[in-house]
Structure 1
Amino acid sequence: VAGCEGRLPQTKPRNTVRRFPVERRKREREREMRRINSLFGRIGRVSEKPTKNSHTFFAAPSFSTDGGYGGGGEFQQSSSRVKIFDRDLKRIHRDRAAWLSRHKNDTFLDAVAENLLDRLEDCKKSFPSALCLGGSLAAVKRLLRGRGGIEKLIMMDTSYDMIKSCRDAQEDSLVETSYLVGDEEFLPIKESSVDLIISSLGLHWTNDLPGSMIQCKLALKPDGLFLAAILGGETLKELRIACTLAHMEREGGISPRLSPLAQVRDAGNLLTRAGFSLPGVDVDEYVVKYKSALDLIDHLRAMGETNALLHRNKILNRETALATAAIYDSMFATEDGTVPATFQVIYMTGWREHSSHPQAKRRGSATVSFTDLQKQFGGQS
């Protein structure tokens, strides 16, 4: 004010923030966080900074447990699944097999497909729509012969050349057939859209076999049937032994040359984990004879069953290859001069749940005691 002597008392600005000590602010913040977390049923101290044990969760837009689309983006990198097989390389193998097996029938693939399709004759119901996944597509299409009452058939494979070869095959069939290029790990089929899914020697090359089977179950209609044949752990046991001995002798170590395969005890667990009802598993062993170990390798190439491990040794020394063939012939050659190769095939059968399926009785609802049965039939403990 004009004419006033002295200074006016200094007032605190209105927008000044009151300052608290650091420790007090920290306690207030933690108290607020505990109050918020208690609303969600989580009581405890929440760390503001990420720690080594903290995890980030992503909602996968696919039925697969892979967690990504395989495009190499950020979402794909966040997946925690361990990849075993190189799917791009396997597609190349399938392309090569399509040309090597063109206009040829493989007796081994035909035998596996025939045994798998025989299970359709044991079913009283019909399956108007069916999906065939990878593996021996041509054998399944040729040997179907009206079994299962199939009216519409979808043939799917990762290889365009394999699909084209199957489409160009001249087969007299009354079934309406469609062809699709797709991946078993990311099934491009709507939920509850098909009555039957067949996979003959194809699913054992998937990185996420449980996830692929879950997708198959979701694609089935209620009371739909899942039929699959995969190679078991005893497959090519002779070649595994010969490769191991040859690598130890020539290179002083072991290099993975054959892919890991599921064991028989795992097949039932896979069906149960995927949610199939009435699971069934049985095993067959096929012994195929070849003139030499090199003919076996040629047959594996024609079937598209060569090594596709992601972490594989891409170089095979000529001496190691010749040593493998020599050890194979010396250890497993038969009297007629041929060498055998064992293929273990695991057949899996499962149904999507339906009210017509038999259900287990409630525990404790039995009306007859095993002790009474033992006494009645004269058994002794």
Structure 2
Amino acid sequence: MAASSSASANASDTPPRLFDRALVRRRRDRAAREFASYDFLHARVADDLLDRVESVARDFPVALVLGGGGAVGRALKTRPQAAAKIGTLIETDLSPAMAALGSGPAVCLDEEALPVASESVDLVLSCLSLHWTNDLVGALIQINHALKPDGFFAGAMLGGATLTQLRQALLAAESELKGGAHARVSPFADAFDMAGLMGRAGFALPVSDVDRVTARYGNAFVLMRDLRAIGETSALTQRPRTPAAKALFVRAAQIYAERFADPDGRIPASFDILHMAGWAPHESQPKPLRPGSAKARLADALGVKETSAGEKAGG
């Protein structure tokens, strides 16, 4: 009975398999053929990641890139300051075809089972791939373990209100046509606590922020074409197994335009890019002070008279 109870507890700790990783790989393989013509989000993120690299006053002999379809390597060619800090850049992807788009050494690997030796790289950059992982914290822990002590990680993933207009239009169209709706846009992580997730994964000095991007398209069909072209269409495990009728997408495009179109008729698409950064722990890093160990009083720093809690109550 004890063994059975333990097995049950372990099963309950397993994250749900929201995404079909094999389908993600196939769709990214397909997207690789024309990816460079549609990778404006990846190019933007690659530049932002290299901004963070340039802001760090140290060099990185071995750097590992997760995802991006070669966007980081392409950006590095135009960023001499960042390039001077990085020795060997290894670009990777879940998709072999996407990995092959890198400009240097490339590896096909899975972020959910990162095949990288512990404490073997100085820098890890993640370019719009972690939102497809079923266990985000688990992936971050593996990245942390791959870094040498005091190694640096900077990543970006889609989250928050990404594609909220498309999600609403598809739900409304399917509810109208069929009296119910399936989830046809992948769920995204909330933006509010990425630094907290980094802390759970063991990173020191974690920080996070959100880059909110609005792209405009002629209509919803152009948006959906571009999402296919970068391998970002839904890969939910619990997705409908029969193709949706064309009428669903026609009605969704109409609803999208009715609810969200700008005065010129073009439609906006929201993308929340969640940025995170942190360091593999090292004894040289600053540590928070223990409670009660401060050597100066707050009242002195503010130039006010210190009053006890009892005095405040009595006054």
Q: With the length of structure 2 as denominator, give the TM-score of the two structures.
A: 0.89
Cα RMSD after superposing both structures? 2.4
Structure 1 residue aligned with 2:32: 98
For residues 267 and 113 of structure 2, the distance between their equivalents in structure 1, rounded to whole angstroms, comes to 39
For residues 143-292 of structure 1, the aligned pairs below 5 Å read: 143-144=75-76, 145-146=79-80, 147=82, 149-167=85-103, 177-292=104-219
1:187-213 deviation per Cα after TM superposition (whole angstroms, max 9, x unaligned): 111000000000110011011111110
1:277-298 deviation per Cα after TM superposition (whole angstroms, max 9, x unaligned): 0001011100000011000001
Q: Secondary structure at the match of 2:237?
A: coil
For residues 75 and 6 of structure 2, the distance between their equivalents in structure 1, rounded to whole angstroms, comes to 50
Structure 1 residue aligned with 2:72: 140
For residues 79 and 181 of structure 1, the distance between their equivalents in structure 2, rounded to whole angstroms, comes to 28
- Determine which structure has greater relative contact order: mean sequence separation of CA pairs < 8 Å that are 6+ residues apart, divided by chain length: 2
Q: What are structure 2's unaligned runs of at least 5 residues? A: 307-311
Equivalent pairs counted in the alignment come to 303
Q: Which stretch shifts more, 123-132 or 140-149?
A: 140-149
For residues 309-324 of structure 1, the aligned pairs below 5 Å read: 309-314=236-241, 315-324=243-252
For residues 239 and 185 of structure 2, the distance between their equivalents in structure 1, rounded to whole angstroms, comes to 9
For residues 310 and 231 of structure 1, the distance between their equivalents in structure 2, rounded to whole angstroms, comes to 19
Matched letter for residue 88 of structure 1: A
- Asked if the contact 2:137–2:197 (Cα under 8 Å) also holds between the matched residues in 1, the reply is yes
Structure 2 residue aligned with 1:112: 45
Structure 2 residue aligned with 1:34: none
- Asked if the contact 2:124–2:154 (Cα under 8 Å) also holds between the matched residues in 1, the reply is yes
Structure-2 change in CA distance of 1:96 and 1:355 (3 Å): same
- Asked if the contact 2:165–2:269 (Cα under 8 Å) also holds between the matched residues in 1, the reply is yes
Q: Which of the pair has more CA radius of gyration?
A: 1
Indicate yes or no: 2:23 matched with 1:89. yes
Structure 2 residue aligned with 1:364: 292
Structure-2 change in CA distance of 1:166 and 1:356 (3 Å): same
Q: What are structure 1's unaligned runs of at least 5 residues? A: 1-49, 59-66, 68-76, 168-176
1:343-362 deviation per Cα after TM superposition (whole angstroms, max 9, x unaligned): 00010001011122111111
Which structure's residues are more often strand, by fraction?
Answer: 2
Which structure's residues are more often helix, by fraction?
Answer: 2
Q: CA deviation at 1:317?
A: 2.0
Matched letter for residue 95 of structure 2: S
- Asked if the contact 2:63–2:89 (Cα under 8 Å) also holds between the matched residues in 1, the reply is yes
Q: Which stretch shifts more, 356-365 or 276-285?
A: 356-365
For residues 113 and 305 of structure 2, the distance between their equivalents in structure 1, rounded to whole angstroms, comes to 55
Q: CA deviation at 1:226?
A: 0.5
For residues 318 and 104 of structure 1, the distance between their equivalents in structure 2, rounded to whole angstroms, comes to 26
1:320-355 deviation per Cα after TM superposition (whole angstroms, max 9, x unaligned): 111101000111111222111010001000101112
Q: CA deviation at 1:53?
A: 6.8
Matched letter for residue 52 of structure 2: R
For residues 71 and 120 of structure 2, the distance between their equivalents in structure 1, rounded to whole angstroms, comes to 24
Q: With the length of structure 1 as denominator, give the TM-score of the two structures.
A: 0.75
Structure 1 residue aligned with 2:221: 294
Matched letter for residue 197 of structure 1: V
